[in-house]
Amino acid sequence: MKVIKNRFSLDMPFYLHTLTRAMDYWLNIDSSTRIAKLHKETCIYCKPYDQHTKGINEMNSGGGWFKFESPKEAEQYYRGLDIKIFWQPCKVCKPE
């Protein structure tokens, strides 16, 4: 087996690196529905791209997408928000 040396790990095959990489989570704060929905980065409904009304890691008029390393981190951020919105983990990817 050929080992690909990369900047992440010197002795780990590339396919193993992608399997062992830590999962990221995205919190979608939607101002119109007043819902903060947490997704795994692999979820089919997780689409954190820059939109006209939503920002990436910043709030715009329509809300924003925020990246976190754990669901706990995302929930702590949510609890610190000054706006009244509802917490809702995604029912498809079940980020727990």
Q: Is residue 1 part of a domain?
A: no
In a domain, 56, yes or no: yes
Domain count, the chain: 1
Q: Does residue 94 belong to any structural domain of this protein?
A: no
Cα gap 64→95, rounded to integer Å: 18
For 69-91, the pLDDT digits (tens) are 999 999 999 999 888 999 999 99
Rg (CA), the chain: 16
Quick one: pLDDT at residue 65?
A: 95
Q: What is the pLDDT of residues 14-56, one digit of tens each?
A: 555 455 567 899 999 999 999 999 999 999 999 988 778 899 9
Domain that holds residue 49: 23-89
Q: What is the mean pLDDT of residues 61-65?
A: 93
Residue 42 lies in a domain: yes
pTM: 0.75
Residue 52 lies in a domain: yes
The answer to whether residue 5 sits within a structural domain is no
Q: What is the pLDDT of residue 19?
A: 53
For residue 96, being part of any structural domain is answered with no
The dihedral of CA 90, 30, 84, 69: what is its sign?
A: positive
pLDDT at residue 83, as a whole number: 83
Distance between CA 28 and CA 57 in Å, rounded? 10
